[in-house]
Structure 1
Amino acid sequence: MIEKKWDFNKKKTVRDYAWQLGMLVLLCLQVLLVLYYGGKKAGFHEDEYYSYYSSNRTAGLYEPDREWLDKDTYRNEFVVLEGEGFNYSLVATVQSWDVHPPFFYFLLHTACSLFPGIFSKWLGIGVNLFAYAVNFFLLAWLTYMVTDRNKILTFLVSAAHGFNAVIISGVLFIRMYEWLTLFVLLLACLHVRAMITEHSMRKGDLSFHKFLLPLMFVNYLGFLTQYYYIIFLFFMAAGFCLWLLWRDKNLWNCFRYGLSCAVSIGMAVISYPASLAHIFRGYRGTGAAAEFLDGANTADRFRFFGSLMDEYVFDGHFLLLLALIFVMTIVLFIRKKKNSEVKTFVIEGDYKTYFLLLFAVFGYFFTVSKTALLLYETSNRYELPVYGICMLLTIAAVYTLSGRIFRALFINERLRRAGIAFLFFLFLAQDVHELVTGKVLFLYEEDRDRVEYAKENAHAPVVILYNAATPYHVWWCSDELLEYDGAYFMSEDNQEEITDRIVCGSHKLIVYAADGDTKEESLALILRSNPELEGYRMVGQKSLWSVYEFE
């Protein structure tokens, strides 16, 4: 019986302690690598600004017309002010106006409350880095269980995962997806542990305090982190219930399990009622439903997200790895006809857990590919929670199949170990290639020069020409605007003569102009309003903005 193999009280050997030390060293190296890339991060994605704003809002961002705003006015919207920390009710209220649940914003608000008045990328990265470290242990635990305590394979999966460029990118992207990954992995660990041990599962009985209660806790926080958690839970629950029925032929287990899931999600909805509006009436909820029901987009969307995983997770080798798995499986089947002792299954350990993970991951990947936003490489964020499990399943299949082929072909132990070493080198080489070719996302290193320019001109008068159709795009330049003493806001739709004495009398102006139909007219209006200015030149561009220097 599998249950008898899993003796958690077994005395550890020197080799066990050496392996645990190696895993800790591996984690430390990966954390150092994340910190290195965190230091290289020079700018922010527009959604990252919103993370800070949703967590720390003071009076609310607004865009006046023909008025000055000093630096503190808009800086206060991104930081926690003295005496206003740990205000979680305000965070929940602000977030209810958007389309996401509040748990991640509670965490970011907590970090910012510990350092009032400070706006720093490191606060957001620190929150995600904690989840990243937990995810390291969760993925290692999941691999260890699925592969029947294969330490070499656990180390290989942990190394390939933690050094991967897109996994590092998830830590640097100051949003909720690293934490969604945590709850997805924790959910997977709970179910796999229940299937392979007697600690959480007995035939005919589901342990409440060892399985159902932790499951409810994970469901509650997972739902309040990102609504995509429901997708993974749905497919995990469906696969698990099918296994329960196959194992016990007892509907009572499925009923108790389903009731526990329903109660935990219901409690999350009760504690955050805005979630129902977000899912069923919000623009993202209704848009996602429309995309899911549109059968015409299925192939293109699946191809889009599949190519992202291929390029950013497997460095363009995913189809090659699948082909290798297929060929090795065929070879083993042929060998099995000649030798009945040859094993053909593709993974170490309990095959039921392998197929449960495969079913849940494919269901999540497909559903998210049908509903998520198509945002080029930044769309990796939506599939990030299952990338680690995808790597686990793929690496485990290649590892196990190649090992069994070595044995079936009577290759000696030394050659088998050499093959394992080559496999380790192969997957790490993919990670290194991705890192050196610049596949770590969300760094925005091109923003460094623009921020330096803003620092050098911190005391110069600044004019913000915003597009009245999209005024909120102003805050996409916040890292630069926070360096200036203040800025004069102007709508590009307003072509009346400028009367402000500073704008009309300065020998130098820095102008941020949004792309719009009247941008050129607005630039000419500024030049015409100030006789001290002779002309202007472009000194930078960012997304939908151009920066000009008037002298």
Structure 2
Amino acid sequence: MGTKTKFSRHHILMIAMILLSTVITLFLSTQKINYHLDELLTYSLSNGTDYINIKPGETYELYGKHQESFLTPSGETRFNYQNVWKNQAEDVHPPFYYTIFHTISSFMPGEFTKYIGISINIFFNALIILLLYKFSMLITNSRKAAYLTSLFWAVNPGIMSDMMFIRMYIMTMFFCLLISYVHVKFMKDVTPSNSRFFLSLFLVSLGGALTHYYFIVFTFFVCALFVFYLLYKKQIKHLLMYVGTYILTILAVLGIFPSVYDHIFGGESRGQESMENLMNMGDYLGSIQGFWRIISNTLFGGVLLIAVFAIGILLIMISLRKRKIVKTDHDRQSVLDRPSIWNIVYLLTTCSLYFLLIAKIAVYSAERYMQPIYPIIILTFTALLYHAIQYFSKRAPVFIVSAALVLISINGYVNTTNFEYLRLQSEEAIELAEKYSDKDSIVIFDRVWKIPASYVELSNYKTVTFYDKSKLNPLYQNTDYDEFVLYVHGEAAPIVKDIVNKLPQIISYKKLSSYAYTDVYYLQ
């Protein structure tokens, strides 16, 4: 009966954590007012046969509906996975996430909603919460430490911010955590028959590689260190099977999505840009500092350096103390045994190598490139913190660690996490578009791919007319509006003055806002 009670309490606690995380996510989703350009790319690459197709000089009524036709599937394009494959082959990402996204969208043709992407994030976030518990139990054998690890993730402000980003990064985090778990579990529980390990290795690696290419980068370090482990243990048979499994995985990935090779190594792809960054001896130290600051502010309330220093001091004190004392039944106990310490070293080493490489090759200094290692960072940080506190305070480690994690999270919510994916910085631009919703608008663009970034704002106007920035004569010849709202990509002031000079009905103008590649003016 006691076992059943513990079993049910455990499941209630895990469900409660998932529900808490989901409630926070849904609350934040109500505050999400706009979309990052890459989020709109998620919709178009999953569901559209084109990114956007506008004709310069043509006036569009109900522009929002026009653009949504490129963001949602229609009756003819529902469950069209061949189109998903084609879109991704022409883009720079593998297709697994987009396949899931398109499948959900296909059940709601013509429906554009943020909750399609957020629901995928919620699902994989729940899996991460469950897996973090199992992983923490594997390396600490402490339910309390495992619960704290999952809870810290479930309510972490940085993770909740990332849940608002409608891209494949939460899914990528799950696969990076899972491939790490598969390797560490083998190290802890190696048995003569390991068919389950190699099958898991194949399936997880296949799924992760088809989700994001940075999974491949992370897995490279996981595998490289694991090869050294097998060599050290002289497990040559396992090593040969391990290498053979990854050869099969590579062949399977290439067979399912042949464009992988070109995306990583060829053409003018992101892979090529990353290779160029690798060879560039620019401000590498500055990049490292920038990404460290991102992780600290996002996950740890800006105090990561202080926390790491404090944990380091405590661990050194523990090591020195253990050398001096004689082992008795009254010695202080630890949640980490020697193999577990080496497992944590293994995880931290893979994260560190990934961090150092990504800081060198990342196309942009953006948080998303570090997100794949976020679960491992949370896992190892909480395990080491709990270990250090428990050694010095056997009676109250849960309370002390909980208090520390609560303070970190509160500071993150209040001070350091910017929740950029809510797009709150676009609030003024949207309010102005709503204020002038009875007006006509003109968009002067320099790149077609920038146009959807103003999708929410442009959806408010009575009409929208587009003109190519390099070909403005049709605008001067055809525009007869007495007043209109003007959107200009890039430098706008000379164009606005030129319009005032060439359109006699326009005598004045004022700047309204700047957002998403665009300056906005009202002309009358």
User: Normalised by the size of structure 1, how large is the TM-score?
Assistant: 0.87
Matches within 5 A, 1:29-428: 29-70=20-61, 71=63, 72-148=65-141, 150-197=142-189, 201-203=190-192, 205=193, 207-208=194-195, 210-247=196-233, 249-281=234-266, 282-341=268-327, 347=336, 350-375=340-365, 379-406=366-393, 416-417=395-396, 419-428=397-406
Deviations 1:174-225 (A, max 9, x none): 111111111111111212222223xxx314x5x22x1111211111111111
Indicate yes or no: 2:487 matched with 1:494: no
* Code of the aligned partner of 1:44: Y
Contact 1:495 1:522 survives alignment (8 Å): no
Give the Å deviation of 1:434: 1.0
User: CA 1:498–1:384 in structure 2 vs 1: closer, same or farther (change >3 Å)?
Assistant: closer
Q: Distance in 2 between matches of 1:13 and 1:350?
A: 29
Which digits, 9 at most, give the CA deviation of each residue in 1:250-271, with x for residues without a partner? Answer: 3121010111012112211121
1-side partners of 2:51 and 2:382: how far apart? Answer: 48
Distance of 2:284 and 2:181 partners within structure 1: 30
Q: Does 1:445 align with 2:434?
A: no
Counterpart CA distance in 1 for 2:323 and 2:455 is 67
Aligned partners of 1:129 and 1:401: how far apart in 2? 32
1:3 maps to none
- Residue identity matched to 1:110: T
Which secondary structure does the structure 2 equivalent of 1:202 belong to? coil
Q: What does residue 520 of structure 1 align with?
A: 493
Cα distance in structure 2, aligned partners of 1:489 and 1:395: 53
- Deviation, 1:163, is 1.4
Decide whether the 8 Å contact of 1:42 with 1:446 is kept in 2: no
Look up the match of 1:23: 14
Taking structure 1 as reference, are residues 346 and 23 closer, same or farther at Cα in structure 2, changes over 3 Å only? closer
Deviates more, 1:425-434 or 1:54-63: 54-63
Partner of 2:410: 432
Equivalents in 1 of 2:158, 2:132: separation in Å? 16
Question: Is structure 2 residue 486 aligned with structure 1 residue 511?
Answer: yes
Amino acid at match of 2:342: K
- Residue 146 and residue 11 in structure 1: after superposition, are their counterparts in 2 closer, same or farther (change >3 A)? farther
Do the aligned partners of residues 497 and 58 (structure 1) sit closer, same or farther apart at CA in structure 2, a change above 3 Å counting? Answer: closer
Distance, in Å, in 1 between the alignment partners of 2:323 and 2:472 is 83
The reply to whether residue 465 of structure 1 matches residue 431 of structure 2 is no
Mark the CA change 1:510 to 1:289 in structure 2 (over 3 Å): closer, same or farther. same
Q: Distance in 1 between matches of 2:270 and 2:50?
A: 26
Aligned to 2:509: 536
More deviation, 20-29/52-61? 52-61
In 2, are the aligned partners of 1:219 and 1:265 still within 8 Å (CA)?
no
Structure 1 stretch displaced more, 107-116 or 476-485: 476-485
Aligned counterpart, 1:5: none
CA distance in 2: counterparts of 1:522 and 1:330, whole angstroms: 64
How many residue pairs get matched?
516
1:456 Cα deviation after fit: 4.9
Partner Cα separation in structure 2 for residue 52 and residue 250 of structure 1:
47
CA contact (8 A) 2:184 2:343 kept: yes
User: Which whole-Å CA distance do the structure 1 matches of 2:295 and 2:332 have between them?
Assistant: 30
Q: Which amino acid in the other structure matches residue 427 of structure 1? A: L
CA deviation after TM superposition for structure 1 residue 494, in Å: 2.7
C-alpha distance in 2 between matches for 1:142 and 1:289: 34
Give the superposition deviation at 1:73.
Answer: 3.3
Whole-angstrom CA distance in 1 between matches of 2:323 and 2:262: 58
The answer to whether the 8 Å contact 2:172/2:208 transfers is yes
Distance 1:483 1:266 in 2: 49
* 8 Å Cα contact 1:142/1:188 also seen in 2: no
Could you say what the CA RMSD is over the residues aligned between the two structures, in angstroms? 2.4
Give the letter aligned to residue 113 of structure 2: S
Query: Distance in 1 between the 2:373 and 2:474 partners?
Result: 56
Q: Is contact 1:454-1:481 (8 Å) kept?
A: yes
Q: Which amino acid aligns with 1:508?
A: E
Asked if structure 2 preserves the Cα contact closer than 8 Å seen for 1:514 and 1:544, the reply is yes
C-alpha displacement of 1:458: 4.0
In 2, the alpha carbon distance for the partners of 1:528 and 1:68 equals 23
Alpha-carbon contact 2:264-2:272 (below 8 Å) kept: yes
How big is the shift at 1:115? 1.3
Q: Which moved more, 1:69-78 or 1:278-287?
A: 69-78
Residue 346 of structure 1 and its aligned partner are, at CA, apart by: 8.3
> Per the alignment, in what secondary structure is the counterpart of residue 29 of structure 2?
helix
Taking the aligned partners of 2:483 and 2:144, their CA distance within structure 1 comes to 64
Identity %: 23
1:16-41 per-residue CA deviation (whole Å, 9 max, x = no partner) reads 43233122212211111111111111
Distance 1:525 1:334 in 2: 75
Partners of 2:519 and 2:262 lie apart in 1 by 37
Superposed displacement of residue 112, structure 1: 1.6
Shift of 1:531: 4.2
Checking the alignment, whether the CA contact within 8 Å between 2:49 and 2:83 is kept in structure 1 is no
Q: Would the aligned equivalents of 2:20 and 2:154 in 1 still touch at CA under 8 Å?
A: no
Native 8 Å contact 2:510 2:522 kept in 1: yes
Shift of 1:423: 1.6
The one of 477, 484, 494 equivalent to 2:461 is 484
Structure-2 separation of matches of 1:451 and 1:394 = 40
> Aligned in 2, Cα 1:98/1:11: closer, same or farther, shift over 3 Å?
farther
Secondary structure of the structure 1 residue equivalent to 2:421: coil
CA contact (8 A) 1:139 1:388 kept: yes
Which deviations, in whole Å up to 9, do the C-alpha atoms of 1:139-190 show, x marking residues without a partner? 1211111112x11111111111221122112211111111111111111121
Tell me the CA shift for residue 450 of structure 1: 2.9
Output the CA distance in 1 between the equivalents of 2:358 and 2:435.
44
**Counterpart Cα distance in 1 of 2:2 and 2:204:** 30
Give SS of 2:487's match. strand
- What whole-Å deviation, never above 9, does each CA across 1:28-81 have from its counterpart, x for those lacking one? 111111111111111111111111111122344245433324424332111111
**Preserved contact between residue 54 and residue 94 of structure 1 (Cα < 8 Å):** yes
Alpha-carbon separation, structure 2, partners of 1:241 and 1:33: 41
